[in-house]
Amino acid sequence: MKRPRSSLGRRWGSLRASQAALAVVCIATVAAGCSEAGEVASGATVTAYVAAPLCAEAERELAKRGRQAGDVRVRVTCLPSAESDGKLDLATIGANARRATQDSSAIAYVGERTKAATRFSAPILEAAGIRQLSDMSGAEAMRKILADDSYKRF
C-alpha cells in the first residue's frame, strides 16, 4: 500500500520546481543582452543607476556625449535620495542597490559620496557583479563609465 505524501514532501517538490524555473529565467534574461563573446550586444541599451544628488550632473554629461558608448546606448536611472534630515537612510540605500541588481541591463551604480553608504551598498552590488563608483561627481562617474568600457561587464 502506498503511503500518502506529506505536505512537506509536496512543498519540497514545489520548491525545487520553482528554483529550476527561476534559474531558466535568469539565464535567459542575462543571455538576451549579451553577444556570443559574453559582451553587451551591439545596439543594446545599458543602464547606470545614479544617486539623486549626482543624477542631474550625470545626465548632463551623458547628453554631452550623445548617450552612446561605442555602439551601445547608455541611459541613466535616477534613484531616490538616501538622506533624510541630514542622516543616511540605510533602508533606501539597500533598496536602491537592490533595484539596480534586479535590472539585467545595469552596468554601474553611482552611489552617495559617503563611505558609510558605499560600505552598505557594496556587498549587494558585488554579489550581482555591478560596478560601484563613489567618491566622485556624477559627471566624473559618467566619463569613467564611457571611457573604460564599463558597459562590457558581462
Q: How confident is the prediction for the chain on average, in pLDDT?
A: 78
Q: What pLDDT, in 10s, does the model give residues 107-142? A: 999 988 888 899 999 999 999 999 999 889 999 999
The model's confidence at residue 151, banded by pLDDT at 50, 70 and 90, is: low
Q: What is the pTM of this model?
A: 0.71
Residues 6+ positions from 130 with CB-CB distance below 8 Å: 100, 101, 106, 107, 108, 109, 153
Task: Give the CATH number of domain 45-152.
Answer: 3.40.50.2300
The model's confidence at residue 17, banded by pLDDT at 50, 70 and 90, is: very low
| Bridging pattern class, strands 68-69 and 72-78 | antiparallel
